[in-house]
């Protein structure tokens, strides 16, 4: 079976929710900066519960130092496992030219900002809006300070969480329910949050 790797740029996406990879056949590699001394306790506890996960502390500091470590690791793994799939979790578009090159050379690679953007890890659409709203609240709470700050970004984030997607009407219904329950406050296009973390 071809390997499936998720490489997380922890300098770039600190509030990532690891729930989607629990009991999934992915090897997780979390790249941590040389001078990055703090990790979220929730994140560390989730990492300990994963079957196949490791931290990679990079050596040295400098612009793009962590990015080069991720690129190097993909090269090493792709040489050993040419059929493997790689997902880089980062909002850094600087990876995109590398990803284009890798895919042109048959190394299946993509970049996502969140684990739920990986199609196989998206949530199943539950019956009834209440389950969907609970899933959205859980996901947003897990993002820490990386939650969408604009209404349009929140709408696209909600739509991308589910395997078969949500219609525009369903997304607007979820947003309305989040507002009604006091989870979000929308001021023109800006969104603020009052989320209670659910386990």
pLDDT at 199: 42
Q: Which CATH number fits domain 125-193: 3.40.605.10, 1.10.10.10, 3.40.50.2300, 1.10.3720.10?
A: 1.10.10.10
pLDDT at 162: 84
pLDDT at 1: 65
Say if pTM beats, i.e. exceeds, 0.85: no
In order of 21, 145, 154, 179, the CA distances from 162 in angstroms are 15, 22, 14, 20
How far apart (Å, rounded) are the C-alpha atoms in residues 115 and 10?
13
How do the domains of the chain map onto residue ranges? 4-120, 125-193
Percentage of the chain surpassing pLDDT 90? 47
Contact 182, 194 (CB under 8 A): yes
Class of CATH domain 4-120: alpha beta
Of 12-16, 59-63, 104-108, 171-175, the range with the highest mean pLDDT is 104-108
């Amino acid at each position: 079976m071809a390997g499936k790797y998720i490489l997380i740029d922890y300098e770039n996406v600190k509030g990532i929710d690891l729930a989607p990879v629990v009991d999934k056949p992915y090897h997780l590699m979390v790249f941590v900066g040389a001078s990055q001394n703090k990790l979220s306790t929730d994140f560390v506890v989730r990492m300990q519960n994963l079957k196949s996960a490791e931290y990679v502390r990079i050596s040295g500091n400098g612009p793009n130092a962590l990015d080069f470590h991720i690129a190097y690791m993909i090269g090493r793994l792709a040489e050993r496992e040419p059929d493997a799939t790689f997902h880089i979790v980062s909002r850094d578009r600087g990876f995109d030219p590398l990803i284009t090159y890798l895919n042109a050379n048959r190394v299946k690679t993509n970049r996502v900002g969140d684990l739920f953007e990986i199609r196989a890890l998206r949530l199943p659409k539950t019956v009834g809006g209440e389950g969907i709203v609970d899933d959205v609240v859980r996901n947003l709470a897990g993002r820490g300070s990386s939650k969408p700050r604009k209404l349009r970004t929140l709408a696209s984030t909600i739509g991308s969480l589910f395997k078969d997607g949500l219609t525009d009407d369903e997304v607007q219904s979820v947003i309305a329910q989040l507002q009604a329950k006091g989870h979000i406050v929308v001021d023109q296009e800006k969104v603020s949050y009052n989320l209670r973390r659910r386990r």
